[in-house]
Chain A
Amino acid sequence: MILNNDKISVRQIFIMFIMSTFSPAIRLFPALCASYGGIAGWLGPVVAAAGLQLLIAALSSMFGHGAGAPADLGDAFEMAFGRAGRQIALVLYLAWTLLLCSVYVRYYAERLMSTIFPNADIRFFLIPMLILVGIAARGRIEAFARFSEITILLFTAVFALLFLFFIPSVKIGNLLPLTPGDAVSAARSAIPVMSIWGYITLFFFLGGHIKNRDKIKKYARSAITYITAVTALMLIFVTGSLGYRTVTRMPAPFFSATKLIQIVRSVDRMEAILLSLWVVSDFVTILAFTFIAMNIAKKLFGAAEVRSFASPMLLLGYAGGLAVASNGLELERFSSNAAVIAVSVFAGTVLPLAAYLTGAVRGRWPLKTPPDAHPGR
């Protein structure tokens, strides 16, 4: 069975989440982790994995306890904070998602302008991307989920290849020595990682589309292991090749480090492959946030159809992409701003955990995460 009733599995939700974190991870993590954690910055994803595990355990407890479980995150907020609390949370999350969508639309265009087409008109890149996103957003979500499933295989293969080519350029002296005192630096470098990994919360606004929510814990283990390994390896190879001091000062360290790859003095320019995959990841990220914004709008206005909101989101995406920042530098400073990272951690991690604890105290769902319904399957 290829398509069924606009429903996607928990596994597909995690794949969409992983795919949508690749673009910000490539752009932000190396520089931010090095700046927050110094030489121990590459340990940030390992520490953040514990935070992600905690967050997913809370989400699993909210959504996976069988009958009476909320349909999506909007319902979970209503059960925890009441109807007024739900509406306030939905308005805040809609504004946050639309801002993120505009930021990623602009990032995508700025990157193409800065890497291959300098001085081109930005609309030349914005319009084709938004036409594609508009067509996909009017389609079925399971088609998008299957597209993510295919592209994650491509990403894994290319990342594995790049990591293999990175090995000769890694200098252990750039990663070690670490002392017990570096544990604090490692924990600090987990903050920017959690600000992006907290996007998993937003995906639970698609809860109405998720069919096997009792298996969140089962798939979470694989997803956390995968995302931690890929992110940690990326940081190890970038920091190990360039050193954390250099990485802190570079605008796109992973992209720059990829330019250093040269195999037997004949194969180079590997960054072209990374750039094309980066555009695919941007498409997944923008489309995922568009779907999430459409679902939040549907919940907020009590609408019958999600697709009704595709056109307004598209128009807002175009205007937002043009007007979100006056240049790429402003965009980069915005993303690395401590206040913005704090807001992202609050929206992605703190607020859902607060909802979970409030709901547990009010007896809406069990405090302890329920076991998988069919762990063997």
Chain B
Amino acid sequence: MEVTVFLAVALALCVNDVRRMRGGGARRDLAPYLALTAVAVCAGAALIARGGSVSVIGLINDAFNIGGRT
């Protein structure tokens, strides 16, 4: 349910932004905008779908072995 709401909000924001960019003369921003939005949506949906079991700090700590995971 939460992922669905997240995707719906992302889609609404994206449609609004794309319409504004196409009309406002910022067409060259479309490619980086869509790339960054795709990354944000994919990462966000994946992290939300995993619930509270994902911890970016925990992953960083594990990757660099700096401790701190609780």
Evaluate whether A319 and B29 lie within 8 angstroms (CB atoms) in the complex, with A324-B55, A330-B68 already known: no
A314 and B52 CA atoms in complex are apart in Å by: 20
CB pair A334 B40 closer than 8 Å: no
8 smallest A-B Cβ distances: which pairs?
A319-B44, A301-B32, A323-B47, A315-B40, A311-B13, A339-B66, A333-B68, A312-B36
- B residues with a Cβ closer than 8 A to A are 6, 9-10, 13-14, 17, 21, 24-26, 28-29, 31-33, 35-37, 39-41, 43-45, 47-48, 50, 52-58, 60-61, 64, 66-70
A337 and B54 CA atoms in complex are apart in Å by: 20
B13 to chain A, nearest CB (A): 4
A40 to chain B, nearest CB (A): 26
Please tell me which one of the listed residues A304, A327, A339 contacts residue B70 in the complex, with CB atoms under 8 A apart: A327
Give the residues in chain A near B26, CB-CB below 8 Å. Answer: 303-305, 308
Give the residues in chain B near A318, CB-CB below 8 Å. Answer: 6, 44
B28 to chain A, nearest CB (A): 6
Give the residues in chain A near B45, CB-CB below 8 Å. Answer: 319
Task: Let me know if A340 is at the binding interface, CB within 8 A.
Answer: yes
Please tell me which one of the listed residues A99, A302, A311, A340 contacts residue B56 in the complex, with CB atoms under 8 A apart: A99
CB pair B66 A337 closer than 8 Å: yes
A320 to chain B, nearest CB (A): 7
CB pair B37 A312 closer than 8 Å: yes
Task: Let me know if A143 is at the binding interface, CB within 8 A.
Answer: no
Give the residues in chain A near B28, CB-CB below 8 Å. Answer: 302-304
B59 to chain A, nearest CB (A): 9
A163 and B68 CA atoms in complex are apart in Å by: 34
Q: Mark A291-335, 1 if CB is under 8 A from B, else 0.
A: 000000100011111001101111110111011111101110110
Evaluate whether A326 and B10 lie within 8 angstroms (CB atoms) in the complex, with A308-B33, A309-B36 already known: no
Task: Let me know if A102 is at the binding interface, CB within 8 A.
Answer: yes
CB pair A316 B40 closer than 8 Å: yes
A329 and chain B: residue at smallest CB distance? B70
CB pair A323 B13 closer than 8 Å: no
B11 to chain A, nearest CB (A): 11
Chain A, interface SS category: helix
Please tell me which one of the listed residues B10, B29, B47 contacts residue A308 in the complex, with CB atoms under 8 A apart: B29
Interface size on A, residues (CB 8 A): 34
Give the residues in chain A near B69, CB-CB below 8 Å. Answer: 330
A297 and B17 CA atoms in complex are apart in Å by: 16
Q: Mark A334-363, 1 if CB is under 8 A from B, else 0.
A: 100101100000000000000000000000
A123 to chain B, nearest CB (A): 8
9 contacts between A and B (CB under 8 A): A308-B17, A315-B13, A315-B40, A323-B48, A323-B55, A323-B56, A325-B58, A331-B57, A334-B57
A303 and chain B: residue at smallest CB distance? B29
CB pair A323 B54 closer than 8 Å: yes
A363 and B58 CA atoms in complex are apart in Å by: 43
Give the residues in chain B near A331, CB-CB below 8 Å. Answer: 57
B35 to chain A, nearest CB (A): 8
Give the residues in chain A near B39, CB-CB below 8 Å. Answer: 312, 316
CB pair B14 A311 closer than 8 Å: yes
A99 and B59 CA atoms in complex are apart in Å by: 13
